[in-house]
Structure 1
């Protein structure tokens, strides 16, 4: 099987002034962002709802091949802890469907305190799947989710577990077993949301992601170290490592700036 293209982007589409040269011209910040990257995470949906027409406007601002992942509201993941989420899903999912064909899928980030309750998780995933067949990736942050029982649940409902950095447990550094949607979220390390990644760290990531390029769905890599604007530069540097003919530097032991 031919290797699939690796899709690289950021959490949000802000363009730091220091890295504006990485992007082409456009009528909006999103349009400019899309001149460089073909994917993005919508994280604002975690904090507040957006009207369908807002999603439609975002979809209209980018090219045909561009894709969005949409973060599931914190009302579901944090306040309800996945319980009784049907009414919120009934409001949220139709809004996000305003993205049309440019909806890549959904991201469910769980709070670090949320332990695995198999019955609750199964009910939620079943409820989600009764409403949407879109891709769903999950970022659990409690050790109880990195077990065979959790893997069975993810597989049953077609949910992919992301690979995170920093990894709270060793298993969190790699995507879940047989992920339908290989997905990395790098938040910045050692200081989450702030730290820059070095070239050796990105080379190591590139080597890791390359192993997943023969899966049915293209790997996604999202940089979330946005506070000081490093996400855009790190994403562009990783993207360059996958360009045809690019010489990939040998992966070394990771160090961080």
Structure 2
């Protein structure tokens, strides 16, 4: 079973620096130990195509990036009338080539599930991105059986988030062909480490989720305290021996 494990960004904290190679740039060293990473900076600003090309060139052939959609798409236009911004993002991300593994859409907590709005948005995405679309909603209306079936029918995965913003958000939903966990740290969001016991439970949940042959991602976003890299390394070690 293949599980892609990584962190939000590729910072290597001092506490785990000795577990990564000494030579090479930061991303190159990170990619020598972990198989995936989330690019969160795309949420805030555009990058040159050449920047993405440079990042792709620094990673092994089986390494994958997930790129977070810009806030102009998710938080300002709220998935509506954003074809121009999606086209910009798709053009930029071509620099990653086959290293692009997913496009992450994190919607604001106030954005309720709406079939018409979400359907039009996903139709626009389908014509631009070859990589899977993964959505991390935070309004309670997304975590119903009907919304889950609707996403699954469109082959869109819903993130399993910790801490869960609403009941049901802690389990993955939508497409069973892709499982995507985003672990933000709890009880203190962005800071708390998970520790061995909780990581074992997380790994069991990841392995049990989805269909046979599903692609599985686990991304640690508890980066504020530097805990993400240590948790990712520990989970990767557990997954190899599972």
- Which category of TM-score, normalised to the shorter sequence, fits these structures? over 0.9
Tell me the secondary structure at the aligned position of residue 220 of structure 1: strand
1:233 is aligned, of 230, 233, 238, to 230
Distance 2:212 2:174 in 1: 12
Deviations 1:183-237 (A, max 9, x none): 1000000111011112111111011112137533321100000001000001111
Distance 2:84 2:178 in 1: 27
2:76 is aligned, of 57, 76, 79, to 79
The answer to whether the aligner puts 1:16 opposite 2:13 as a matched pair is: yes
C-alpha RMSD of matched pairs (Å): 1.4
Relative distance call for 1:61 and 1:131 in structure 2 (3 A) is same
The 5-angstrom pairing of residues 175-186 of structure 1 reads 175-186=172-183
The 5-angstrom pairing of residues 1-257 of structure 1 reads 4-212=1-209, 215-244=212-241
Answer whether contact 2:143 2:169 (CA < 8 A) is retained.
Answer: yes
Deviations 1:25-67 (A, max 9, x none): 3321000101110100000001001111110000000111110
Distance 1:64 1:113 in 2: 39
Deviation at 1:178, TM superposition (A): 4.5
Distance 1:214 1:152 in 2: 15
Distance 1:214 1:142 in 2: 26
Give the gaps of 5 or more residues in structure 2: none
Q: Which runs of 4+ in 1 moved over 6 A?
A: none
Deviation at 1:243, TM superposition (A): 1.6
Distance 1:20 1:171 in 2: 36
Tell me the secondary structure at the aligned position of residue 182 of structure 1: strand
Give the gaps of 5 or more residues in structure 1: 247-257
Relative distance call for 1:107 and 1:177 in structure 2 (3 A) is closer
Number of aligned residue pairs: 242
Distance 2:46 2:155 in 1: 25
**Structure 2 length-normalised TM:** 0.96
